[in-house]
Amino acid sequence: MNFRLLTLLFLFAVISTSCVSVQVKDNTVSTITSEIKKPKNIILLIGDGMGLSQVSAAIYYKDGKPNFERFNTIGLSKTSSASDLITDSASGATVFSTGVRTYNGAIGVDKDTIAIPTIIEQLSRRGLATGIISTSSIQHATPASFYAHVKSRRMYEEITEFVPNSGVNFFAGGGLKFFNQRKDGKDLLAAMKAKDYEVSTGQLPQTTTSKNQLILLAEDGMPKMSEGRGDFLLNATKLALEKLSQNEKGFFLMVEGSQIDWGGHDNDADYLIKELLDFDKTLGVALDFAKQNGETLIIVTSDHETGGFTLASVGSDYNKIKPSFSTPGHSATMVPVFAEGPGASLFNGIYENHEIYHKMMALFDK
Ligand code: MG
Ligand code: ZN
């Protein structure tokens, strides 16, 4: 090793140690260089069950260029849970909302069923605005993991009891029946109104209000795209951005394309692709907002892949694709992470799913 190389190595070591290190759980370290500009806002978009073949379907089945191609930073996330090699959507979302790997079925609780503060609860306490949008019910595993703490994802009525005190400023999705047709006879819509929420159950409001908003447009999950859901996800995201961006301290918005996963479970390629294209369209809204806003980081990822989906050839005809499945369940494949905006470079590389939470929280720590 010559002297010049030694000098270079020394300089590199000095530069490296001048970076700000953030110690996080599970003995992993996220290093953020002092030059990284931190975002004021984060939009986390989760395509439930969306692996690389699902994303690839946007290339082959969309007229025009997919919004996925507008991202410059791409990473890969390993998706195992604490209990299983293959995660379900409850532990898969809890790891994003809390940074803690837990057992399949857990909503906002750790391996010992102890509640862990979620990113939304922490940011809400700091005065940031927060929102949750989903094409399932808002009590379904993915959205619930951001505001509720229960030992099993099937406890929909118990999950709903967390909504009035969640502090979340904007909810949109399905799940009305868990508020007003409950086994315990409680009227949780009245509880929401008492907490000064504006409740909408007919259609998506055209404009936002100064009040917190609870928008429930289906008894349980929202309809499929093929059954007339229309531009709900896109328009709800626009509305949420209009509302949350009024907060001077910033905001965190979680948007879920829930039914990409359901198409995978049904091994129904047409269902899956229509849901995926709806999600891609919504990415366009988020990206346009971020581009104009300049202080918003967009992260797009998935909890796991569903269906063992693949874009296989039709026998030896390499000019024809036959979308195929290898399981009615989930698979262990890594899922892509797309990032754009201030702090995006942190999402390069291959890492564990819990790192996504720690990276987001490190970017919110001023
Ligand atoms: Mg989900
Ligand atoms: Zn699933």
Q: Where are the domains of the chain?
A: 22-169+250-364
Distance (angstroms) between ligand 2 centre and the Cα of 105 equals: 11
> Is the CB of residue 119 less than 8 Å from the CB of residue 354?
no
Distance (angstroms) between ligand 1 centre and the Cα of 276 equals: 13
Told to judge if 89 belongs to the known catalytic residues of this protein, a careful annotator would answer yes
> Is the CB of residue 327 less than 8 Å from the CB of residue 308?
yes
- For residue 28, what pLDDT is reported? 46
What would the pLDDT profile of 32-43 be if each residue is shown by its tens digit? 545 688 999 999
Least confident of 15-19, 85-89, 258-262, 273-277: 15-19
More confident of the two residues 27 and 268 = 268
Catalytic residue among 56, 77, 89, 166: 89
Distance (angstroms) between ligand 2 centre and the Cα of 246 equals: 34
Distance (angstroms) between ligand 2 centre and the Cα of 259 equals: 9
> Is the CB of residue 287 less than 8 Å from the CB of residue 70?
yes
- For residue 366, what pLDDT is reported? 73
Mean pLDDT (whole number) for 255-275: 98
- For residue 120, what pLDDT is reported? 98
The CA-atom distances, in angstroms, between 215 and each of 145, 148, 175, 204, 318 are 18, 18, 10, 7, 46
| Ligand number nearest to the C-alpha of 104 | 2
Mean pLDDT (whole number) for 335-359: 97
Distance (angstroms) between ligand 2 centre and the Cα of 21 equals: 36
| Ligand number nearest to the C-alpha of 331 | 2
> How much is the mean pLDDT over the chain?
92
What would the pLDDT profile of 227-243 be if each residue is shown by its tens digit? 999 999 999 999 999 99
Closest CA to 225 of 283, 280, 187, 293: 280
The CA-atom distances, in angstroms, between 118 and each of 32, 110, 125 are 22, 12, 11
Distance (angstroms) between ligand 1 centre and the Cα of 143 equals: 7
What would the pLDDT profile of 184-210 be if each residue is shown by its tens digit? 999 999 999 999 999 999 999 999 999
| Ligand number nearest to the C-alpha of 327 | 2
* pTM for this entry: 0.91
What would the pLDDT profile of 7-22 be if each residue is shown by its tens digit? 555 545 444 433 444 4
Model confidence at 4, in pLDDT bands (50, 70, 90)?
A: low
Q: State the residue for tokens 């564990």.
A: 352
22-169+250-364: CATH architecture: 3-Layer(aba) Sandwich (3.40)
Q: At residue 98, does pLDDT exceed 80?
A: yes
What would the pLDDT profile of 66-78 be if each residue is shown by its tens digit? 999 999 999 999 9
| Ligand number nearest to the C-alpha of 96 | 1
CA pair distance 54, 86, nearest whole angstrom: 18
> Is the CB of residue 145 less than 8 Å from the CB of residue 93?
yes
What would the pLDDT profile of 120-161 be if each residue is shown by its tens digit? 999 999 999 999 999 999 999 999 999 999 999 999 999 999
